[in-house]
Amino acid sequence: MKIKKKIVIRLFRYTSVILLYFFFFFTYITYISNTIMQFAHNSSIQKPTPPDKGSFPLDHDRECSKPMLAYVNCLSENNGLSRFCMEFSKEYLKCRMDNNLMAKEDMENFGFDEVKKAKIVPAPHFNPNEPIVAGLSRRRRD
């Protein structure tokens, strides 16, 4: 009787452990499959957001190519610093508005006055031979 009881208890333990393993395994599988399905479902539903000012057509007829080239030349002469080329930028934007390539808007809304008022701070000197370590200040050379 004792032997049968021990065998029954052992079988009960083993079957309960096996059932627990199967339970956790299937819940894990269903969790993973649900998260994959949610990810796949959510990624296909995302709608693109339009630009703030709306879309505007490209200049296919090159109606504003002269002001654009003047602006690009100014940028190349001034090492890409756009604050020195604001007048060329204004002319280019005016040309686009006059030729209905973008919505007409006041020049005050483009922020040219804020750029003029802004304090210009020179960029720090970059030495390509010096390693960059995050969180450390620059080494001072005496």
Q: What is the mean pLDDT of residues 58-70?
A: 89
Q: What is the rounded CA–CA span in Å between residue 78 and residue 86?
A: 12
**Tens digits of per-residue pLDDT, 83-106?**
888 899 999 999 988 988 888 888
pTM of the model: 0.49
Structural domain of residue 36, as residue ranges? 1-40
Domain count, the chain: 2
**109 and 72, same domain (yes or no):** yes
Helix and strand numbers, DSSP H then E, in the chain: 4, 0
Residue 50 lies in a domain: no
Residue 2 lies in a domain: yes
**36 and 73, same domain (yes or no):** no
Residue 4 lies in a domain: yes
Q: What is the pLDDT of residue 94?
A: 92
Exposed, middle or buried: residue 36 (CB in 10 Å: 0-12, 13-18, 19+)?
A: exposed
